Amino acid sequence: MPYSLFNLEGRVALVTGSSQGIGFALAKGLASYGATVVINGRNREKLAAAVTELSDEGYKAHASHFDVTDIGAVKTGIDKIEAEIGAVDILINNAGMQFRAPLEDFPDDKWQQLLQTNISSVFYAGQSAAQHMIKRGRGKIINIASVQSELARPSIAPYTATKGAVRNLTRGMCTDWAKYGLQINAIAPGYFKTPLNQALIDDPEFSTWLEKRTPAGRWGNVEELVGAAIFLASDASSFVNGQVIHIDGGITASI
């Protein structure tokens, strides 16, 4: 059956920063195709609520509480998942943050926090998971990039820099690890209705501008990212490597 190309039964998927928003939607999507999902985050209460919601719907879900900006915690956390839940077949590096300020006044502490959260975490989790995956000769890593991997807007230059780095780290991971049987790709969302974007969603002027700027004429819904994640996590993408798939309603295709 064609479905078998996308079947994730028997596979374990770790999604970082997945107690809400895009990460939770991706975890739920992978679970709906049979994966056992591991929800990660720093807030224990949110983690517990996310796992309960998935479990109540009949999905296989676990919580893993560690800080993705702490390399020691990441290594310990992934080793524990491998030992207690199962081999991590799929890693989605979703954890991320945003902070807006004029570049000339951008606070140094927020610059450092953006670097750690948006790019160092991808390196830490990617490397830690890959060390296990390489031994098995297989594995899927999906990094969450952004339209800001290609474009810039006022007041978010540091965020743009981190997401550009995610794009090229994805290519670098592919270049180093494809020979071991790993597929490493990225999804680059456009503007989606998430808690991270709530301030923009609530701004009528920005929403009007975005709807005019986007060929599809609207914000994206997080569920619209799930299909690409299932494709990249499954056997259907066995020869797809080092690619960035933009899911943005066409915003990067037009001027």
Positions marked active-site:
159
Angle separating helix axes 108-115 and 157-177, nearest 10 degrees: 20
Q: Which three-class secondary structure string do you get for 32-90?
A: HCCCEEEEEECCHHHHHHHHHHHHHCCCCEEEEECCCCCHHHHHHHHHHHHHHCCCEEE
- The answer to whether 67 and 95 have CB atoms below 8 angstroms apart is no
- The answer to whether 164 and 122 have CB atoms below 8 angstroms apart is no
What tokens does 89 get?
A: 């077949």
Of 90, 21, 31, which Cα lies nearest the Cα of 58?
Answer: 31
HSE-up of 172 (CA within 13 Å, CB side)? 10
Question: Which amino acid appears at position 129 of this protein?
Answer: A
